[in-house]
Each structure stands twice: as C-alpha cells, then as structure tokens.
Amino acid sequence: MKALYSWIREFVDTDLGPHDTADRLTMAGIETSSVRYLGNGLDSIVTAHIRSIKPHPKAEKLTLCTVNDGERDYQIVCGAPNISEGDRVPLAHIGATLPGGMEIKRAKIRGYYSEGMMCSERELGISDEHEGIMILPDDTQPGKPIVETLLLDDYLMEFDITPNRGDCLSVCGIAREVAALGGFPLIKPPIFFPEEGSDIGREVTIEIEDYDLCPRYSSRVIYDVEVSPSPLWMQRRLQLCGMRPINNIVDITNYLLLELGQPMHAFDLDLIKDRRITVKRAGDVKSFTTLDGIDRQIHEDTLLIWDGKDPVAVAGIMGGENSEVHKGTRKVLFESAHFNPLSVRRSRNRIGISTESSYRFERGVDPAGTLLAIDRALTILSGFSSFTTCRGFIDEKREISTYTPVRIRTKNAQRITGMKIAKKDAIRVFSNLGFEIADGKRDEILVHVPSFRFDITREIDLVEEIARILGYHNVPTTYPKADIPHSSADHEFIEFKKSASQILSSLGLMESINYSFIAEKTFNQLTEFSDDFSELPVTIKNPISDDTGLLRPSLLPGLLKSTSTNIARYNRDVRLFEIGKIFKKSLKKDFFEENRLASIFTGNLSIDPLSGREKKVDFYYARNVLDKIFSGLKIDDTFIVAEKIPGIFQPGESAAIKYEHKTLGYIGLINAAVCDLFDIDTEVYCFEINLDLLFQIRSPERKYRQISKYPPLERDISFLIKREIPVGDILAYVKRVDDSLIESVSIFDVYRSEKLPPDKKSIGLRVVYQADNRTLTEQEVNDIHRKIIILIENRFGGMVRSS
Amino acid sequence: MSDLHETIKRIRQEAKDLIEKAEREGDLLEIKGRYFGRKGSLSALMKTLVSLSADERRKAGKSSNEAKRELEQLFEAKLAEIKRRRKERIGAEAATDVTLPLNLIPTGKIHPVSETLFHIIDVFSRLGFTVFSGPDIETDYYNFEALNIPPDHPARDMQDTFYIANLDGDLVLRTHTSPIQIRVMERLQPPVRVIAPGTVYRCDYDITHSPMFHQVEGFAVDRDITFSDLKGVLTEFCTLIFNRRATLRFRPSYFPFTEPSAEVDIECVICNGDGCRVCSETGWLEILGCGMIDPAVFEFVNYDFEHYSGFAFGMGVERITMLKYGINDIRLFFENDTRFLAQF
C-alpha cells in the first residue's frame, strides 16, 4: 500500500521526518519497503507556455515548438501529437536529469536544435502515462517550478502490510501507528457540510435481508450534482497512490478508501429502479455485468446490492454497469457499508477479481466507521463541487460493538517475551494505541480494544502489542536451559543420507537436485519402459507449467535431463547422483513417498596424461561405485542378478540389485530409445536404489574377527569357460568349497580374445588359503585346490589351462 | 696343510674380487652366501678340519676366521656404498614433474544446498535439537488448519499452494516445513527441541523463487521458553552458520502460527551493513521468520498454554546458500551444471 507523507501528517502531529517515520514503522511490524522523494530529478523542470507550433521542415512526424518559461523563448523539437498552441507544459531545461535517469542535452534533430524537452507524466515519474506530453491547467504560471505546480514536494511511502493488519491499509491507519509509536497526538479530520436538501427518506429506501453478510449499510444522497474532473491535488494523490482519477464523484469514494480505509460506492440514484436498495444473496441470478463491462458468473451465495428489480453491484467488490455514475448524473447515492470478510473473500475468488475494495473488506474494515467516511467525503467534495445534500442519512445495522474487552496479565507477558514489563508501561502502550483501559487489579489489565483492531481478541495478541511497541530490540538475549535431546529414526536417516552423499562425492560424483515434478509428456513416453511409469501418476491439480504436471515416480528422468543439459553445454563427462523422494499412487486415494538414491554416469572418468589413456565409464565402474556405497553404509549380503530388468535399461548390460528376496533397485546401461527421448547420443549408465530399504537392512553393529597370525598361501587357477557364465556365481561356489580355510577368492584377469574359441572367455582366479590356528601344509592346500578345479570343470564346464 | 691354507687364501681372494665388482645388493648377498655365509665354502671347509691335529686346526681356524672377518667388513662397506649410490641415483632420476595437473581421481561434490542443509542440522544438533521429518504430500489439516490458518484465511494468499488431484481434494504439496511441528507435538510431550528439514513447494518461478525449494523448521517447547531465548538461539545459529559474529535485527511480523512473530535480518554479509546492491542499500538481509508458538496451535495438539511456551522458526536453505556464496539466481541450483556444482 502506498501513502504520501504529507497526507499522513494531516492525521498525526509528529516531528518525525519521512525516513525516521519509515524506520520506526518497520521496526514495529509495518514494513516500509520504500520512501521516495517525488521531487527527485525535477529541479530543472519548469512550467512553460507553448507559443507556436510549426511543422518540422524535414520530418513529417516532428514539430518545431516555441515555448516560453516566463523569461525567454526556447525552440523545442517535439514528436508528441497531443499539444496545441497555448498549452501549459512541463519543460526540462538543458542539463536536467529526469527521475528515470535520462539526461537532457542540447541536441540537433534533423537539422534543427532542440533546447530542452517537454515531458510526459511517465518521464516525470508520476504515472505510467506516456502517450503524450502532460498538459497542465491553463492558469499555471509559466516559470513555476514543476515540483510546485504538481505538488511533488512530498514523499511517497510504500508499505507491505501483513494480512492481520487490515486497519493499516489507509493513511489514517498508518497515522494511528505513528501516533502509538511516538506518543504523538492524532488529528481529527474536519467534518462540515450543509444539509439543505430534501429528506433522504423521500429519496430512497434501504433494506438489508442478509444481515449475516452485511451487518451495516450506511448511506447519504446528494443531488444537483455536476460531474466534472477533480482538482489537480486530488488527482495527484490518487495517481501517486495507484488509482486512476475518473471524475469528482468516483474520485472522492476512492480518496476515502485510501484515507480512512472505508471502501465506498456511488450509484446514480436516477438509475436505481423503484428508488429502493436491497442487500441480499444472488440466489437465482446467474450473471451480472460489472462496471468494467465484463459479464461475470455469479454464485448463489454471493452477496449483491439490488435495486427494485435487478442487481446493481457485487457487494464490496465492484459496482454494476447499469447504475454507474456518468457525465450526466445528477443524483448520487453514496454507499458506505460493512461486509462480512469471509463472504467477500469467497465471492471475489469465485468471480476471479480482486479490487482495492475487496482487498480491504477481506482483511477487515472498521464497522464503526461507515458514516464517518461518507461525512468526510461530503466535507471534501463540498470544497470543490456544487451539490445539495439531502437531510439526514440512512444507517441500517444490527447491534455493532465498538470495542472488544480483552484481559492481560503482565506476568504472562513476561513469561512469553522474557522481558521485564511494568504494568504502567503496558498501560502506556495501550493508551498510545488508542485502547481504553477499563480496569486493572494486581497484575491484570482489562483493555477495551477498538473495533478497527480485528486482530486483537486474546491475551497473546496484547502481549504482542506490548513487545512490538516497546521494540524487539529491548527484549534481552538469553539461552534456554540445556536438555537431553530426543532420539529419532529421522535423525539417523539424515545421518545415513549424509554418509551416502559423502561416499559418493568422494568417489568423484557430483550431487544434483532435480525438481520433484515431471512433465506428463515425459511420464507417458516412459510408460512402456518401466513399472515406475506404468502405474497411475500423482497429479498436480494446478501446475504452473507443463513441467510441473505430475510428481516423479523415479529419480532417473531428472538425472537424464540434467545429463542432457550438461552435454548440450559441452560438459561431456557427467557423473551425478541424487538422493530424493519419489511419489506414487497406491490404491484409490493413498499416496506413498519413497526415498531413493540414484546415479548416472557418462563420458570419461579420467585421463592419464602420462600414458594418454582415457578411462571411460562403463558398467563395471557403476557397479564398483555401488559396491563402495554398500560397504561404506555397512550393507552386507546384497547381490546382483541379471533378470527381470525394466526396459529403461539395456538387456545384457543391466542387473537387478537384490537383498534376500527383495529388489533394492537396478543398475545398467540406459536403453538407447530412452536416451533418444532426452536427446542423449552417448552411453549412459545408471543405478537407482530404494534408500528406505537400504536404511532398514544396514547392519552398523559389527563383531571383530581375529586376524590370523599364520601365513597365507596364494594359488592361481586360469581356465576357459563359456562367455555367458557369470563370474559372480563361480566365486560364490568356490568360496563354499571350504569356507573356513579359503580366506578369499578374487578375479585377477578376465580375457576375451579372437585367439580363444569364439564362445569362451579366459578367467584368472586367485585363491588365498589361510587358517586361524596353524600354518597350512602344502598337502592341505593341494587337497582343497584340487576340489576347486573339479568344481570348475564339472559344474561350470571350465577347461583349466594352468593351476 | 698348506693346501688348506692355500684354499682359504684363494677363497678369500676370490670373494674379495667379487665383492669389489658387485653392483647390486642381491649380488652381494649371493657372494656372502656362497663364500662366507653359514652354508658358504669357508664354513664347509672348516667342517673338514676334524682330521687335523689340534695345532693345525687352531691355525687353520684362525686364518679362516681372519678371512671371514675381513670379508664381512668388505661386505658391509660395499653394501653401504651400494645403498648410498642407489639413493643418489633415485635423487638424480627424479624427473617426475610434480606440477603436472592430474585427473586420475575424478572430482565429486556435495550439492551446495545439501551442504548448507547438513551444516544447519549440525549446528542445531550441537544446540540439542533432534531431526524429525514429514511427508511432502501433506493434508490441508497439517499444512494449514492446525497451524491456525483456517480455510478462506487471507494468510493462505501468502503461499501459493500446489494441490494434489485426489478424491477429497484435501491434499497439497506442503508449502512449508511447519506441518512437522504439529506431527511431532501430537506424538511427543514437552520438553521438545526439534529441527525439521525438508523440500517445500510453491507456485512461483523467477530469479528468486523456485516451485520447489528447501526449508528448515525448528522449534522448542518447554516451561519458561521465552522470546528472549529465541533471540539467543538464532544469534548463536547465525554466528555458527556464517562463521562470524552475527548482528541480528528482529522485526515484528505476522505468521498465523506464531505470536509474537518476527522477521529476522542479519547484518549484510557482503557489505557489513554499509549498504550494497545485495541488501538493497539497507545494510540488512532478511534470512528467516520466527516467533512464539501461538496458543491456538497448542490447542490443536493438546499442549497446555498455561504451563508451556515455545518458539518456532523457519528458514529457506537456498536463500542462506545464495547469501553465503553470492549466488544471484535460485534456478542455478536445479540445473545441475557440473561447472556450477564443482565450485563448492
């Protein structure tokens, strides 16, 4: 919300300057986001008189103007079409720097000098209007500084008002805060206008049917009105505060909305059928044309203002086209009402427009202030317009309470704030805020909170007022007493995630974070490739773009997208991992979330500058990373099987990662068709595992096993075997030949070559024998070793080449 | 006898010559084994002396021992020389270019947002807070209602909410991590001291807003927890997280679930409060929101406001990370450009 410093000063007698006022307000919760001196950059701009306008001899769209600033003539080259001889305009002299930063220099335009520039409203920084030069009133004295002419020797203040402080959405509300902060006196606005017309009761009748949505409806009527533009000062204030001047009648309602925060509406009474106003719900009415000319759908519960036959306004939101004040309007009915905040909010949501009026009603408008606003409006209007005011007013209402009693104990204020609070200080805060102190025994104070402070109904609300007004900087800084922390599985899980991140990053992977969203299109494209995408997706009802339509059922699309982005930016070596949630729909309406860990690899892993050898990432690298995660996270007994792999992976170079009968995830080469979807034309390896499951099967508890003091014996066997036989199977079987004396079995060589039979590979196997309690004899080792050779030959059809 | 003597002499000379010519440690050891080791030719010779007279035996023994002693000495000297030469040679051959840039072990990194998140958790863990989590898909009740934001409350406008398409229409993507407050307080009785990190979502997308970002919620409930305690804890936190003595400013603000509420500004980490572009010339940076837990929230979880009080705070992890590293566009965090990630 915007307000002018000079306007605020009309309501509070303060010696604080605009910047100090802003700081004090901000530190009391009325955030002042900016203070701007309106005269900035306008020093060298004066009022000038256009003496003559001639066409520019060399440019069709330009004119040569002679203007006079009261001292001498200047030649100005101008392109604006809206000026005429005799107009008064703002003239920027050579050397001026406009508020927007433009510097005015002597310039030659198509062969003619221009000694300055005539300005539009936007160039002066007072509105967005830039269609033409700003035309000033005819009686403006040439030479008068524009700052004076346009009343710009002032400060525009902008406030971010929190939703609880609807009472501060007005000049008067801000002034009340300033008064409370400094103990300054408030100034009551003058109210005076003659009531010389006929009795209002003869002009109109008003009835409220739905009191629940409209507890009060006040009104006055004026006639013999001349609808005309408002004076410059009012137009300026409206404009600067963000409203468009229209005519004196509409402007005065807007002016009061800004000044007192009371939204008002003006009806052309001659257009009100039967001279009768009724306030009731829409019921059967289906649509209504608001004064912006738009036909709007109306919900049956929306509160409308009706004349004798039809709706004439949507209560608290916008008037109707059918009763709008226009040039020929002679008789005006001013409405100043109180509408239910919830009802206004719902209605404006349904209609889909938010107005200055609805914004205030939603946040609460003082029900006690309706009549004051009309009277203030007529007082100001009578200063520059002629009209006759009907005698009396109409004020339909239910019982309106002007205050709420709230009790506070200073003991509680101290208990919450940690601040020492004397009763007299609390009382001073309340009276400066304009609250009445009704009673107070011991540490208790009974406060009558005025009706404009909707936000204060409970003791805690008063505690906040005390802390806020005394200032948070006066609250001491202390520390809570120490306590034994709770234990929680969530905390352990965070530590687990952290370990995983540390392991992966130290292995040369970079952590990425992708959005939890996935585009519906991507999801559908992946349906045929993985179970993750064949179930019903979790759908966002109100996505902000195609990319935010669904929630991801897998981390892989995000990683593939990030990889693709990197490759497109010439980062061809990509090794990323992500730890995050995936989302799935289960049954009819339940959803579940699962933490997953996924990695993606492509390009070169390393280049050795000495040998010039590049190491590309491959399946084995990905597998090895996986092994390191498992060992680092203390996860035992996982294994890999090349079966039931989802289609997102390339068969033959992919596997399922298992623990007992459970599938933890998958690892492998991404299917080329899937890579195509992400514009990736290189080999990409991935794995994705269920981190929740991993967390469950971790076994951090370990028992130390005695390290043998006796020497180990190493034996190698090399053999030929069918290519498709997985080495992992051989290792498992070999170890089982003698679990106690075989310390380890490893592969030191896998060899495929044209020199070998086409379906064979050569395997080099190293067996280490060791006993815990003695040195093994050659004989013992030979016996076991022979069994291993038999196993390889008989079970796996191996052809032992040497052993 | 003289034969014997001659033999000893010959062995001695042969061994001497070989030791002299030896160039490698292995050669030396081999010579020693062959001539004067335990199984060497000198020892073998001595075993044949049994047939000789005592005097001859003594003489031969003496001469053999002399030979052995001399050879031992030569051996040690030569060994020392070989070792010395080897060291010299290694020094001379050290043609390793120690400045050669290598990429044998690839570089990995933790995402800057995760790093900040872990850091925040570490700091609060030290202050006695425990991590609790909650779901990203949250019910209207936990995300709004129990936090004192009833339906149609204007405060709902403060957060643009993503809704999940489900039958009851009561599910949202959580707009903040505050629902975890309710979930924990429903389960645990005071005293509680909790830190709740998580991903949150709002319908917003520009240079400073992302539809998904990370928040950390923290709260403590006990007897006699005060607003002044909140000031203390947050001052300590900022000092530890920004690694410098932090000057904080608490400004009154509004959140439906806290009262009194505050926005916390830290003295600008870029200009130290002098005013710069990052802080819009104010000298202050807004970093978190906080306040004393509203009694209405206590009612939802059956905590007794007469006996207990508590504070709560919430902060954006991306925001803090951006301030720490001078990052000016929040979208960089989610593009995962490796040149960006490698910087932290």
pLDDT tens digit sequence for B161-215: 999 987 777 899 999 999 999 999 999 999 999 999 999 999 988 888 899 999 9
Helix or strand holding residue A319 (H, E): strand A318-319
Query: Looking at residues B286-309, what average pLDDT do you find?
Result: 95
Report B:281-300 residues touching A (Cβ under 8 A).
292, 294-295
Q: Which residue has the tokens 């490739």?
A: A529
What's the pLDDT at B93? 65
Choose the closest CB to A508 out of B108, B111, B252: B108
**Closest residue in chain B to residue A416, using alpha carbons only:** B226
Interface test with A, best of B264, B305, B341, B343 (most A CBs within 10 A): B341
Could you tell me if A318 and A288 are in contact, meaning their C-beta atoms sit under 8 angstroms apart?
Answer: no
Chain A residue numbers touching B313 (CB-CB < 8 A): none
The DSSP secondary-structure symbol of A125 reads: T
Residue B88's CB: how many other CB atoms inside 10 A? 10
Segment B62-109, tens digit of pLDDT: 888 888 888 888 888 888 888 888 888 776 666 777 788 877 888 899
Chain B residue numbers touching A406 (CB-CB < 8 A): none
* Cβ within 8 Å, pair A418-B226: yes
* Beta strands at A205-208 and A276-281: parallel, antiparallel or unpaired: parallel
pLDDT at B127 over 60: yes
Q: Does B253 touch chain A (CB under 8 A)?
A: yes
Q: Å from B312 to nearest chain A CA?
A: 13
The 3-state DSSP class for residue A183 equals: coil
Q: Does B129 touch chain A (CB under 8 A)?
A: yes
Choose the closest CB to B109 out of A163, A416, A505: A505
Chain A residue numbers touching B111 (CB-CB < 8 A): 510-513
Q: With bands split at pLDDT 50, 70 and 90, how would you rate the model's confidence at B2?
A: low
What's the pLDDT at B158? 63
Q: Å from B109 to nearest chain A CA?
A: 5
Chain B residue numbers touching A501 (CB-CB < 8 A): 110, 114, 118
Chain A residue numbers touching B109 (CB-CB < 8 A): 505, 510-511
Q: With bands split at pLDDT 50, 70 and 90, how would you rate the model's confidence at B233?
A: very high
Tell which residue, A443, A452, A366, has the closest CA to residue A407: A443
Could you tell me if A612 and A696 are in contact, meaning their C-beta atoms sit under 8 angstroms apart?
Answer: no
Choose the closest CB to B164 out of A538, A569, A573: A538
Q: In what order do the strands lie in the sheet with A276-281?
A: A205-208, A276-281, A303-306, A311-314, A318-319
* Cβ within 8 Å, pair A480-B232: yes
Q: How far apart are CA B43 and CA B35, in angstroms?
A: 8
Query: What residues contact residue A776 under an 8 Å CB cut-off, 6+ apart?
Result: A710, A713, A741, A769, A770
Segment A428-477, tens digit of pLDDT: 999 999 999 987 788 899 999 999 999 999 999 999 999 999 999 999 99
Chain B residue numbers touching A574 (CB-CB < 8 A): 338
* Cβ within 8 Å, pair A548-B103: no
B151 prior amide bond cis, ω within 30: no
For chain A (length 803 residues), average pLDDT per consecutive 10? Answer: 96 95 95 91 89 89 91 90 90 88 87 91 84 88 89 94 95 96 93 93 95 96 95 92 94 97 96 95 91 92 94 94 93 96 92 93 93 97 95 92 93 94 94 90 92 95 96 94 87 96 96 96 91 87 91 96 95 96 81 95 86 87 95 92 89 92 95 94 96 94 87 91 87 89 90 83 92 90 92 90 78
State the Rg of chain B over Cα: 41
Q: Where are the alpha helices (DSSP H) in A534-664?
A: 556-568, 619-632
Q: With bands split at pLDDT 50, 70 and 90, how would you rate the model's confidence at B30?
A: confident
Q: Å from A220 to nearest chain B CA?
A: 31
* Strand intervals (E) in A135-215: 155-160, 205-208
Interface test with B, best of A510, A564, A565, A610 (most B CBs within 10 A): A510
* Cβ within 8 Å, pair B336-A565: yes
C-alpha dihedral, A533 to A538 to A541 to A545, nearest 10°: -40
* Cβ within 8 Å, pair B252-A580: no
What's the pLDDT at A460? 97
Provide the phi-psi class of B231: left if phi over 0, else alpha when psi is between -120 and 50, else beta. Answer: alpha
What's the pLDDT at A589? 59
pLDDT at B1 over 60: no
**Closest residue in chain A to residue B214, using alpha carbons only:** A513
Question: Cα A722 from chain centroid?
Answer: 61
The DSSP secondary-structure symbol of A528 reads: G
Q: With bands split at pLDDT 50, 70 and 90, how would you rate the model's confidence at B227?
A: very high
Q: Å from B338 to nearest chain A CA?
A: 7
pLDDT at B37 over 90: no
* Cβ within 8 Å, pair A475-B191: no
